Amino acid sequence: AQSVTQLGSHVSVSEGALVLLRCNYSSSVPPYLFWYVQYPNQGLQLLLKYTSAATLVKGINGFEAEFKKSETSFHLTKPSAHMSDAAEYFCAVSWMDSSYKLIFGSGTRLLVRP
Amino acid sequence: DAGVTQSPTHLIKTRGQHVTLRCSPISGHKSVSWYQQVLGQGPQFIFQYYEKEERGRGNFPDRFSARQFPNYSSELNVNALLLGDSALYLCASSPGLAKPTSTDTQYFGPGTRLTVL
């Protein structure tokens, strides 16, 4: 079955440190991949998406992610964490044959220490 | 431009009752999707509608139904509420200019928090 896994329900970093949030998918067909952020009591905001163009995708707020087919991964990174980055992050996938639905991972809560 | 709007913001119901949640997509967007987000989990796909037709349904019981109106707004209905239906219900819209595609960006509303007692 097609699925997406986010390793680590909580990640804690110091302000200014590297942020790395992990996402792996399982599928025999390369998917389209998305990262969303959710701030408390808000909906989801798209950070970036991969749709089979460049494997390194740059998004908003300094985030980027790299699609690695051999590792079936799409990890999210940011060189320097800011306090405002504290939120819940969701990796999501869709496939050409689904044409509509996103399948989400269980989320990773990012905590940023001053 | 206004984003996706949902109403009500919060709702408290008791078991067995019925609930209707409403969503207005971004102006010009023709596709609306509904997701259920249980506390501590990622959103789960419930429905997608495009041009008033159901284009996709997730693994939810028949107690869940939806429809899309000519102005592209949408309603999600849940009958015979169970405690397990307590969740944040998210609506997302996407352009779907020709038809929904996997690469369409879905823009999410703030959600409706449903509590079933």
Q: What is the pLDDT of residue B11?
A: 95
Q: What is the pLDDT of residue A57?
A: 93
Q: Which residues of A7-38 are buried (b: 16+ CB within 10 A; e: fewer)?
A: eeeebebeeeeebebbbbbeeeeebbbbbbbb
Identify any residues that bridge with B87 across adjacent strands, giving them in sequence order.
Answer: B114
Q: Which residues of A touch B40 (CB under 8 A)?
A: 106-107
Among B7, B45, B94, the residue to mutate for chain A (most A Cβ within 10 A): B45
Q: What is the mean pLDDT of residues B62-75?
A: 96
Q: Which residues of B25-43 are buried (b: 16+ CB within 10 A; e: fewer)?
A: bbeebbbbbbbbbeeeebb
- Residue A15, C-beta contacts closer than 8 angstroms, at least 6 positions apart: A81, A82, A83, A112, A113, A114
Give the gap in angstroms from C-alpha B89 to the nearest C-alpha of chain A.
10
Q: How many CB pairs under 8 A join A and B?
A: 69
Nearest chain B alpha carbon to A50 = B103
Confidence of residue B40 (pLDDT cuts 50, 70, 90): confident
Q: What is the mean pLDDT of residues B93-111?
A: 77
The length of chain A, given as a count of residues: 114
Residue B91 has pLDDT above 90, yes or no: yes
Give the gap in angstroms from C-alpha A42 to the nearest C-alpha of chain B.
5
Confidence of residue B63 (pLDDT cuts 50, 70, 90): very high
